[in-house]
Amino acid sequence: METVSENKSFDGVQGVYTHASEVCGCDMTFGLFLPEDAKSGPVPLLWYLSGLTCTHENAMTKAAAQQWCAEQGIAIVFPDTSPRGEGIADDEAYDLGKGAGFYVDATENPWASNFKMWSYIADELPSLLGRNFELDMDRQSITGHSMGGHGALTIAMAHPDRFASVSAFAPIANPTASDWGKKQLGAYLGEDKGQWAKHDASLQMKEVGFDGPVLIDQGASDNFLDLLRPEALAHAMMARRQEGLFRMQKGYDHSYFFISSFMEDHVTFHAEALYT
């Protein structure tokens, strides 16, 4: 692991690091904010998974998370959204290939060699973080935006003993029934739709739910509502009687202005679960 940069932020450190990923077969970059509390011992960790076209940097610089994480004594990690570099498969469309890993382990060519974002987020990167930083890996929570909200929800439900809480901003909530999903899941996983189900938050909410609190914020003026299908997730939460809160935020769109407006709520929500 190599340090790209470290900057003081809210009396903590916002770092950017790169490392050779075995599962993705390339160098991967992530951002990690450590609050001042980490100087005294391990702190809880919040994951932030970003959306389509993003790198580690977008949320790190636009989501306004560091201030609230510093106040709560929580670290926050900003992984990249896909493998990158020469020789990595890509597509001309913005919603497939680099910047669009969709948090799955691809089984289809040409993606299968490198696009292993599920294993990277669920296994490889947590191991790396636990070995190299003052983090309490027994206390983790997860959030994300859009494609990253999809990833946060599906990974949390697949690892019920790992995460104390899960939240999402405008998640791709029902990808098996959306053009933001059918295209990517078909390309990465093939045409067997039985393999798609564990990557659909609405289907997983109906099937297994989450053993902890859930917070969903969706902008009511989001121009991608038909692709996100938030109503499917809301109905699934009600049918499951899931502990949680689903909020439609009047006038808000899909941008980081929306995310930063409610980031304090999400960090506070996770802090309550992490420190219970």
Known catalytic residues?
146, 222, 254
β-strands 12-21, 43-49: how paired?
A: unpaired
Token digits for 30? Answer: 């992530």
Q: Which residue intervals of 17-146 are DSSP H helices?
A: 57-62, 66-72, 117-119, 125-132
Which residue, 62, 69, 90, is CA-closest to 254? Answer: 62
> Which residues touch 251 (CB under 8 Å, ≥6 apart)?
219, 220, 221
C-alpha span between 15 and 8 (Å, rounded)? 9
C-alpha span between 12 and 73 (Å, rounded)? 10
Helix, strand, coil shares of the chain, percent, nearest 5, are: 40, 25, 35
